Every structure is written in C-alpha cells, then in structure tokens.
Amino acid sequence: MSNYAETFSEIYTGRPSGRQLYLHEKISCVPISNVSTVASEKCFTFLGYACDEGVKRNLGRPGAVNGPDAIRKHFGKLPNHLPTETLLYDVGTLQCLEGDMEVTQRALSDSICQLLQHKHFPIVLGGGHDMAYGSYNGLKKYVGKGETIGIINFDAHFDLRNNRQDKGHTVNNSGTPFYQIALDCQADGTLFKYLCLGIRQDANDRILFETAKELDVKYIMRDTFRIQFHNEINAWINAFTGNVDHIYVTIDLDGFSSAYAPGVSAPSPMGFTPDVVLESLKTIMATGKLRVLDIAELNPDFDRDDQTAKLAASLVHYVLHAERN
C-alpha cells in the first residue's frame, strides 16, 4: 500500500543486556504483509497511525503525525517482564498522504482486521483521535454481525461532533469519530455502546452533552473520575462490559492533566491522573474481552522532556504485562 512505511529496528534502542531484559531486545520489526507467518496465541503487535489531518480539520495544533515514533523510542527502553513465549512485533506505520485522512482510516481498519485474523493483539500508536474510526471498524469487520462491541474512551472530550458539510461534502475530523460510529450503527442496526471516562464540562459544549444523551452514551465526569472513587468507577466499568462481547479501548492523552501530558493537541491542567487510568485498565483487562487498544493525540512538538511520550510508553507497558502474564 502506498501510504505504508515499514518500521526498522534501529528506532528501538536502550540499555543492552544480551538477555532480553529490555523491550528493545525483544521486539521484532516485520512488514505487515508477513503477519500470517508470525502468528501466536500470545502476540502483541504495534501499528503506527501517522496522521494529524483530523486535528488540523478540528482546528487543533498539528504535530501528532510524529506521535508513533516518539512512543516507540521510549517504549524500547523499558524493562521486559514478559514470558518468553509472548511475542512482540512492530508491523510499521500507516501514513496520511495529501491530507486524505479517510484513506488512512480505511487502511487502518483493514490492517486491524488482518492482525486479529492472525491472532495478533493490535496496539495502535497515534496520531490524531480520528484513528478511533479506523480502529473500531477493523474490530467490527473482524467480529462480524451479532457480536456487540463496547467502546471505552479515556478522554476529556466526547468526540461526538456532528460532521459538518462543506460544499456538499462531509468533513470528518478528530472530534467526530464516535459520532460517525453511532451513525454507522444506526444505519446497519448495530448497538452503539460507548463509555467515556474523564469528561469535562469545560471541554464539551452544550450540544455535545445533548448528543451524548440522545445516543445513550455512558460517561463519568472528571470530578468523579478520581482514584478515591475507584470502587464506584469499577462498578460502572463492570456494568458496561457485562453487556458487550468485545471491548475496544482508546486512550486520548489530552484527557490527562498537562502536568502529566503536556505534549498533546489540546492540553489542559484540569485533566485526570495516571493512577485512575491504570486502575480502570486493570478492571477492563480482567474481563478477558479487550481486543484492540490505541493511544491518541501525542504531539512531540510540545512535549516537555518527552514526558507525554514516556507516559504513553508506560501505559502500553502496563497493558502488555497485565494482559499476558
């Protein structure tokens, strides 16, 4: 595919041990065309989504196009506690060419479906949150009709903006993916199951709250999304996950306080903290239903001391070790 770029192992560096004590020594970079030859029952696979066209359309600050490689650089330095039989791959990056976000989203959908068919657990590194439309559709294509997908979004924003019309054409962006998904679900009779954790009143206008109500979106406000309320949060998560067959988790880094994540497209000091996200992820993974994970909105151009990239890498590290140990 013309918008595909292979990942080369040189991007993964770190302390040498000769005993796979660090993740740069364990991860293997292979072309996505070869995924069928490296299938395993315990296999995590990274795929980059190098696109910030949706952020630009949503009037955000560009730079998330460089997010995937920034996460990779810090992930490789982290310690490896995975079992020997657990495999770890990187199959490259999908690039947005000439502003054609829709082509990139379709390529992401096809790639995720392909990875799932070959027993890989896809972890998508972004990139703008428009990636969510591709991630969800890849899982939807894989599970087929009759299976219910629950979306869990760690985010300050609903991303339910109505995709506006411009000269007769629909214009989607990083703020529309879940609205697009909801419309698709209405069109094909699929249940739209969406839980958003960390919503802020100062990050969503009145129309977005009304849209969330109309679409029966479940959400927890930032005031409640705190570690001291983890029992109540876990009860919400378990109630939601108990009514779906598969789970897609998407983490928008701009949901975190800028004290932890300054390098994002829409930073705010009012966001949530890493501890409540880790506690929530533990609850989600305990269901055994998590199928796809993505990390969105890392903007290295504004990242202080690579703090946000390190946060993203540590979140992925946590999921890998919690899921497969």
Give the separation between CA 195 and CA 28, rounded to whole angstroms. Answer: 34
The domain total for the chain is 1
Q: Which of 77, 81, 74, 138 is nearest to 105 (CA)?
A: 138
The pLDDT of residue 38? 81
Q: Confirm or deny that 81 is annotated as ligand binding.
A: no
At 188 the pLDDT is 94
The pLDDT tens digits for 26-73 are: 999 999 999 888 867 789 999 999 999 999 999 899 999 999 999 999
Determine whether the annotation assigns residue 130 to a binding site. Answer: no
Distances (CA, A) of 230 to 233, 238, 314: 5, 12, 20
Q: What is the pLDDT of residues 305-325, one digit of tens each?
A: 999 999 999 999 999 998 654
Which residues of the chain have a pLDDT value below 50? 325
Query: Is 294 annotated as ligand-binding?
Result: no
pLDDT at residue 2, rounded to an integer: 80
129 in a known ligand binding site:
yes
Q: What per-residue confidence (pLDDT) applies to 92?
A: 98
Q: How many CA atoms lie within 13 A of 287 on its CB side?
A: 23
Give the pLDDT of residue 238: 98
Ligand-binding site membership of 155 (annotated) = yes
Structure tokens at 128: 């703008």
The C-alpha atoms of residue 46 and residue 93 are separated, in whole angstroms, by 9
For residue 254, say whether it is annotated as part of any ligand binding site.
yes
In DSSP notation, 93-153 reads EEE--TT-HHHHHHHHHHHHHHHHHTT-EEEEEES-TTHHHHHHHHHHHHH-TT--EEEEE
pLDDT of residue 325: 45
Residue type, 133: Y
CATH number, domain of 320, equals: 3.40.800.10
Residue 322 is predicted with a pLDDT of 87
Q: 86: domain range?
A: 4-324
